[in-house]
Amino acid sequence: MIGRLIACLCLLSLMAPSGTAHATDAKAGRKKAQMCAACHGVDGISKMPMAPNIAGSPAMYLEKQIKAFRSGERKDETMNVVAKPLSDADIADLAAWYSGLTVEVTLPN
């Protein structure tokens, strides 16, 4: 049920117009993502049970969520602190980095 909800939200975020005026820079996002690695992993695959995997997530979805943490609209003790000092350009760069990562799924035999 939650997985379907997340999938729907991701699809809706792809249809929303982008408010990003900044030319995103995935390389800059990679450097900025070092602060995210402790929870979300270097590759966007979480190493902690309460942190989501974010590799390959749509950039617009990631931007919206990080901005919601920054504004306090979305609540998480760690993310609210981490997102607070981020500029819109920082957020766009992080979203460009994580959305550009690919995830390969393999099914057991």
Q: What is the pLDDT of residue 23?
A: 78
More confident residue, 17 or 52: 52
The tens digit of pLDDT for each residue in 95-106 reads 999 999 998 889
Q: What distance, in Å, lies between the first and last C-alpha atoms of the chain? A: 25
Dist. CA 103–CA 45, nearest whole Å = 9
pLDDT class of 2 with cuts at 50, 70, 90 = low
Closest CA relative to residue 101, chosen from 46, 37, 26:
26
Cα distances (Å, whole numbers) of residue 7 to 11, 37, 92: 6, 24, 21
Determine the distance from the C-alpha atom of residue 38 to the mean position of all C-alpha atoms in its chain, rounded to a whole number: 14
What is the pTM for the complete model shown?
0.76
Strands (E), the chain: none
Residues 13-44: tens digit of each pLDDT? 444 444 445 678 999 999 999 999 999 998 99
CATH superfamily of 24-98: Cytochrome c-like domain (1.10.760.10)
Q: How confident is the model at residue 51 (pLDDT cuts 50, 70, 90)?
A: very high
